[in-house]
A = this chain, B = another copy of it.
Amino acid sequence: MKYDSLDVIGIGNAIVDVLASADDAFLVRHEMTKGAMMLIDEAKAKLIYETMGPTLVSSGGSAANTAAGIASLGGTCGYIGKVNDDNLGMEFRHDILAAGVDYRIAPATSGPSTARCLILVTSDAQRTMNTYLGACVNLRPEDIDEAFIRSAQITYLEGYLYDPPLAQKAFHKAAEIAHAAGRKVALSLSDSFCVHRHRDAFKQLVDLHVDVLFANEAESNALFGTTTMRDCIAQLRGVTEIASVTLGPTGSLIVTPEDVFEIPPTDVDRVVDTTGAGDLYAAGFLYGMTSGASLIESGYFGSMAAAEVITHMGGRPQLPLRTLVPQARERVLQER
């Protein structure tokens, strides 16, 4: 098959999010850790669903959110992730295609149902995630099309993909193809618990294959066993060309072997739901990198895209993000 040249291909768990508001007592009752992603089985998913509040259903998945964000910014993007051919799977498929993302992975026609993430949003806008991986466990190395990966400037992998065992192999295959073709590989560490689960494998992957690393403070410290940002930065400099560390409401850092750039957040009136904040930061940053922007400008694009997604429930952009790009460019000119 022939492919157009793409800016980014995202590889991740193809998930439909089911979001509801909840109070802290709900999290305690279900033994959830606020802000984390917990893996659950289908029975537990049913149990949580039955007790959670009225829901909004929105396609999600970390790398898929990033892919949708890049497309919304005006970049060209592909996505690899596995759904089942059930209703939720068809919804995921509709939404990623409708976002303008190149998505060609056939749904599984048997086996587990499409993955769901039950997300509880507390009044502090934190999101606590419970993921039933379902059909995601069927993503295999065979799903990685060599020509597709070669077509993209950057192959972007989400750390969550280390949870389904076969996907790790798909991951490595993709990274090897990308590098053999002189392309770049980016990784998001996804979640500090996920880092703890797969720390050695992540360290190996970062050493071998990662050119651009996305993480928040907790995740990057978890990777290196560091406790301060200073120590963490020293480690990051040794292993990747570019690392972006998001710091929640205080913005982000871009770390290169030579520099550390502080990127301010983009202010919003009210933070409603932080689902997708990191994913959309990555979208803005990768859009910048692949469209010839400077690292600082790319960071501002990240802040801007993250700011849009936290103003509403759900991890996908609701505005065409490309309409916000001129403002972000203007800010860079004024502030730097």
Contact between B94 and A50, CB atoms less than 8 A apart: yes
Q: For A314, give its contact among B56, B87, B88 (CB under 8 Å).
A: B56
Q: What's the least CB distance linking A329 to chain B, in Å? A: 21
Which residues of chain B are near A253, meaning CB under 8 Å? none
What residue of chain B has the Cβ atom nearest to residue A23's Cβ?
A: B320
Residue A313 is within 8 A (CB to CB) of chain B in the complex: yes
Residue A312 is within 8 A (CB to CB) of chain B in the complex: yes
Contact between B21 and A318, CB atoms less than 8 A apart: yes
What residue of chain B has the Cβ atom nearest to residue A90's Cβ?
A: B49
Contact between A53 and B99, CB atoms less than 8 A apart: yes
Residue A13 is within 8 A (CB to CB) of chain B in the complex: no
Contact between A91 and B312, CB atoms less than 8 A apart: no
Q: In the complex, how many residues of chain A place their beta carbon closer than 8 angstroms to a beta carbon of chain B?
A: 31
Contact between A53 and B312, CB atoms less than 8 A apart: no
Q: What is the oligomeric copy number?
A: 2
Contact between B20 and A57, CB atoms less than 8 A apart: no
Bits for A118-131, please: 1 = Cβ < 8 Å to B, else 0.
Answer: 00000000000000
Q: For A68, give its contact among B20, B21, B54, B99 (CB under 8 Å).
A: B54
Chain A residues 85-111 with CB under 8 Å of chain B are: 87-88, 91, 94-96, 98-99
Chain A residues 234-288 with CB under 8 Å of chain B are: 269-270, 272
Residue A52 is within 8 A (CB to CB) of chain B in the complex: yes
Which residues of chain B are near A82, meaning CB under 8 Å? none
Contact between B54 and A316, CB atoms less than 8 A apart: yes
Which residues of chain B are near A68, meaning CB under 8 Å? 54
A residues with CB within 8 A of B: 20-21, 49-50, 52-59, 68, 87-88, 91, 94-96, 98-99, 269-270, 272, 312-314, 316, 318-320
6 closest Cβ contacts across the A-B interface? A57-B57, A54-B95, A54-B98, A87-B87, A53-B98, A54-B99
Known: A87-B88, A269-B270. 12 other contacts (CB 8 A): A21-B320, A54-B59, A54-B94, A54-B95, A54-B98, A54-B316, A56-B56, A56-B57, A56-B314, A57-B57, A87-B87, A272-B312
A-B contact pairs, 8 of them (CB 8 A): A50-B94, A53-B98, A54-B59, A54-B68, A55-B59, A55-B94, A57-B57, A57-B91
